[in-house]
Amino acid sequence: MKKLLVVLVVMVLISGFVFATGSKEASAKSDVVVSMWTGIPREHLAKVQDTFPGSSNIIVDEVGYGSLKQKQLLSFQSAKGTSGNLDVVFVNGPWMSEFVNAGYLMSLDELAAAAGVDLDAYDSALMSNLTFNGKTYGIPTFLQCIVCAYDSNYFKENNIKVPTNYDELLALAKQLKAKGTGIAMPASQANGSYTTWSQLLYSADGYIVQDGKLDLTSDTVVASLERYKALTDNSCDGALNWAHEGVIKALQSKVAPLGLSMSGNNSYLHDPSASLIADSVRYFPLYGYGDTAAANQTYWVWAIPANCSDPKAAFEFIAWVTSYDYEKKATLDSYSISGLTALAEDKEVVSKVPFAGVVMEAFSNGKPDPINPNFDSLKSKMNALLSGVAASSKPNFKALLSELQSEYGAKW
């Protein structure tokens, strides 16, 4: 009796082991595992598994933003050929230098030459960000930056003119705040606040790194902080806890008639089943200083991990998904903006995607984040600082910045 029970238990455990680990069915096609981010509007890559014309079987592994980097880092460190390893990764622009310096990615030049793909077709400024030691490590796509979205019906009813520079934008925000709403901003202790503030800084042609050294206490930086504070003072109630989706919700539900939305999310504003302003939403650039609108160049990169077992198949996928035809279809379907310079001038795109022009204009004035291993850590401290600035009544900008400067200046 006892022996029978022991045998039974052991059988159950073994079957569990087998069941849990070994679903290694032989598939006719070889698998290409693509790591993706759920934030991309669904239509963009929903059908990629079915429509991919190449010979591999595409498996899309999507996770939310919070776990994307973790998943990718953990996959890079596992042995080559492990089942479930990522073959193609969708990397956030700023992570590229970290990944390349750690040796996680493979260069794409030979693969591009072999496949006949012209890497010059992509935005040259971004491509130079992706070139390390003369080798290219990724292809950019899904450009986004913060733009101003507004409800045109509300503006018409209240005789509001669309702002053309920062001062008019601030005046409009004050006007809305007096009415009880305000400007919707992602002012929470998260990356949204950093992106917004950095766009204000870049619009004044400022930068946190001067001559290779970190300089947070210069006048331009302090002034940009003051402009940020002025905006948050006139933001909607509750904006201090809003990340990008909070802003989108405020715009969708008509709580705020004007908002700073990350352009990658704008498709949600056009969805009639989720948004009350689907028909009336319009855009203008985020004027950070005077009448200049600069972007914090946020973009995503298709790259191939160094431990990929089939680089040719992986590159075949990348070449297809960044080709002119595919990107044009994606832009028209889901309002995402690609890295191909030619596409921004395509007439169809310009007419269908209303903010494409706004984003490209901002990108041309914009800068990417500095590349430094300490940057991520600085950014999260900056998020806390910005949230503190927004929350306190009379913050001492210089003192706060000096504190951060003394902590990071030396090790930059």
Nearer to other proteins, 102 or 342 (CB): 102
Give the span between the Cα atoms of 365 and 294, in whole angstroms: 5
Give the span between the Cα atoms of 304 and 75, in whole angstroms: 12
Shortest gap between Cβ of 130 and other proteins (angstroms)?
18
Shortest gap between Cβ of 320 and other proteins (angstroms)?
21
Nearer to other proteins, 125 or 276 (CB): 276
- Decide the pairing of beta strands 135-136 and 131-132: antiparallel
Cβ-Cβ contacts under 8 Å for 257 (sequence gap 6 or more): 150, 151, 154, 155, 176, 181
Shortest gap between Cβ of 102 and other proteins (angstroms)?
4
Shortest gap between Cβ of 3 and other proteins (angstroms)?
10
In this structure, are residues 206 and 218 in contact, taking their beta carbons and an 8 Å threshold?
Answer: yes
Shortest gap between Cβ of 346 and other proteins (angstroms)?
26
Shortest gap between Cβ of 172 and other proteins (angstroms)?
21
Give the span between the Cα atoms of 34 and 87, in whole angstroms: 6
Nearer to other proteins, 68 or 304 (CB): 68
Nearer to other proteins, 117 or 184 (CB): 184
- Decide the pairing of beta strands 209-210 and 135-136: unpaired
Neighbour-count burial for 217-241, b at 16+ CB within 10 Å, e otherwise: beebbebbbebbbebbebbbeebbe
Helix locations, 27-165, DSSP H:
42-45, 48-51, 65-76, 95-101, 109-115, 124-129, 152-157
Q: What is the DSSP string of 145-162?
A: -EEEEEEHHHHHHTTPPP
Shortest gap between Cβ of 26 and other proteins (angstroms)?
15
> In the numeric block, which tokens belong to residue 318?
């990348």
Nearer to other proteins, 14 or 342 (CB): 14
Cβ-Cβ contacts under 8 Å for 84 (sequence gap 6 or more): 33, 75
The amino acid occupying position 211 is D
Nearer to other proteins, 139 or 262 (CB): 262
Shortest gap between Cβ of 64 and other proteins (angstroms)?
2
Nearer to other proteins, 38 or 124 (CB): 38
Nearer to other proteins, 33 or 340 (CB): 33
Give the span between the Cα atoms of 283 and 152, in whole angstroms: 9
